[in-house]
Amino acid sequence: MTYTAAPLDLLLLPTWLVPVEPAGVVLKEHGLGIRDGCIAFIGPRDAALKLAAREVRELPGMLLSPGLVNAHGHAAMTLFRGLADDLPLMTWLEKHIWPAEAKWVDEAFVRDGTNLAIAEQIKGGITCFSDMYFYPKVASDCVHNSGMRAQIALPILDFPIPGASSADEAIRQGIELFGDLKHHPRIKITFGPHAPYTVCDANLEKIRVIAEELDAVIHMHVHETAFEVQQAVEQTGERPLARLARLGLLGPRFQAVHMTQISEDDLALLVESNTSVIHCPESNLKLASGFCPVERLWQAGVNVAIGTDGAASNNDLDLLGETRTAAMLAKAVAGSATALDAHRALRMATLNGARAMGLDSQIGSLEVGKAADIVAFDLSGLAQQPIYDPVSQLIYATGRDCVKHLWVAGKPLLDDRQLTRMDEQQLTATAIAWGQRISGHSE
């Protein structure tokens, strides 16, 4: 009796397929088959065409890659996009963003802002994102309904925040949401102590114990500016990263966001603990926060992922553009034109992000058995010609408007540039209405 495999749900036939793992590989004239939301086949086009498939999509001139992973952001802050530009971080936060949040942020704000962010990210080739913002249950509902994948970090600060009157209440809500969603196929709940300067030792120790018990990730802004590090040293004699190490927070489940200030001791702590660093170059550039030494970290063996940060400080959620900036900046900071080449930059925006989130067994590369989180970039346009290395062309000569199709767990969320599950006109109208309310009522 001959065994016949069940037919594929979908067979994709692009011009180029970039699996990311193994590193540096570009497969030409190959096919990728999807069954039950997972990648079931990768092989030469001739072999692919012999397989039974319910649907076959020819993708001429397109590059198929793993979906991009946006490893740090504040989704609902899309509604504050451009509200307080061209200001240093602490002025931006204390004089503008925190007062605006106190006045405007409620469940409706988070729902509408998160939906806007999800749609923008899907259209930009992002299949998974990390979110750290208020009313995380509302954001989780948005992710669930959208079909996207996300890590939701529960924000915890020593003072009251929208939706939680204390750090203890925020932690309690986090434990509850973690329990509710621990079996969700696309949502991972994590703990998000805001920053070393807004969370005391006692609360950090509570978070560490709970995260260990639940095997949960911790996501935190660390060493965002030189001022933050300098102030900590003046007040306590200890650098913030060293404090986190002393409290036992660093490790493979810890995501240190920004890390623009890295001494030799800091680097040793990151390497020893196997902590991931999340690099947000454009937000750091715009707020003049400093430069994360990406090449130095990479060469030392630190896992570096990439994030857009929130749209209030970037001002977009364009991870492809962010990756291009990261590649350029890494060269300038390292003083070497060979630093962070295009293939490694793409890896940083895909598999490294998945690894930071503990999702690298599921997503981040195109491998048989992994979830079919895939993006098709159209490289057939005038501005991409001629093509010698399609990955270089993707990173250095392509914008997010070239994102043509996107699938999460094999389901199409973007088809020929059109959102399949969200109403773009409605999202735009809602965002405009919020902008009018916020600008019309601001003092």
CATH code of the domain containing 147: 3.20.20.140
Same domain for 56 and 75?
Answer: no
Amino acid type, 87: L
Domain-embedded: residue 129: yes
Query: How high is the pLDDT of residue 5?
Result: 77
Mean of the per-residue pLDDT values for the chain? 96
Same domain for 271 and 306?
Answer: yes
CATH code of the domain containing 30: 2.30.40.10
Query: How high is the pLDDT of residue 89?
Result: 83
Beta pairing partners, 220: 256
For residue 1, pLDDT over 70 is answered with no
Q: 218 CB contacts (<8 Å, ≥6 apart)? A: 190, 191, 192, 193, 207, 208, 211, 249, 253, 254, 255
Same domain for 162 and 109?
Answer: yes
Q: For 113-128, what is each residue's pLDDT tens digit? A: 999 999 999 999 999 9
Answer with the residue of higher pLDDT: 5 or 260. 260
- Domains of the chain: total: 2
Same domain for 314 and 374?
Answer: no
For residue 97, pLDDT over 60 is answered with yes
Amino acid type, 224: E
Domain span holding position 121: 68-356
Q: For 351-378, what is each residue's pLDDT tens digit? A: 999 999 999 999 999 999 999 999 999 9
| 85's tokens | 């530009």
Answer with the residue of higher pLDDT: 2 or 170. 170
* Predicted confidence band of residue 248 (pLDDT cuts 50, 70, 90): very high
The dihedral through the CA atoms of 190, 194, 196, 199 has a sign that is negative
**Average pLDDT for 331-341:** 96
**Average pLDDT for 236-242:** 97
Beta pairing partners, 374: 66, 407
Q: What strands, in cross-sheet order, belong to the sheet with 187-193?
A: 68-70, 126-132, 149-156, 187-193, 218-222, 254-258, 276-279, 304-306
Measured between alpha carbons, how far is residue 19 from residues 65, 100, 366, 407 in Å? 6, 43, 4, 15
* Predicted confidence band of residue 90 (pLDDT cuts 50, 70, 90): confident
For residue 3, pLDDT over 60 is answered with no
User: Looking at 322, 356, 390, which one is the last position of a domain?
Assistant: 356
**Average pLDDT for 415-422:** 98
Domain-embedded: residue 103: yes
- Answer for the pair 287, 85: CB distance below 8 angstroms, yes or no: no
Same domain for 155 and 239?
Answer: yes
Q: For 291-317, what is each residue's pLDDT tens digit? A: 999 999 999 999 999 999 999 989 999
Q: What is the CA radius of gyration of the chain?
A: 21
Domain-embedded: residue 416: no
Domain-embedded: residue 37: yes
Same domain for 277 and 315?
Answer: yes
**Average pLDDT for 413-427:** 98
| pTM, two decimal places | 0.97
For residue 134, pLDDT over 70 is answered with yes
* Predicted confidence band of residue 93 (pLDDT cuts 50, 70, 90): confident
Same domain for 301 and 262?
Answer: yes
Domain-embedded: residue 302: yes
Same domain for 178 and 297?
Answer: yes
C-alpha 376/C-alpha 8 separation (Å) is: 19
Domain-embedded: residue 397: yes
Same domain for 283 and 159?
Answer: yes
Domain-embedded: residue 425: no
Same domain for 28 and 85?
Answer: no
Same domain for 78 and 61?
Answer: no
* Predicted confidence band of residue 141 (pLDDT cuts 50, 70, 90): very high
**Average pLDDT for 168-191:** 97
Domain-embedded: residue 105: yes
* Predicted confidence band of residue 272 (pLDDT cuts 50, 70, 90): very high
Query: How high is the pLDDT of residue 441?
Result: 54
Lowest-pLDDT range, 2-6, 22-26, 253-257? 2-6
C-alpha 319/C-alpha 279 separation (Å) is: 11
Same domain for 62 and 80?
Answer: no
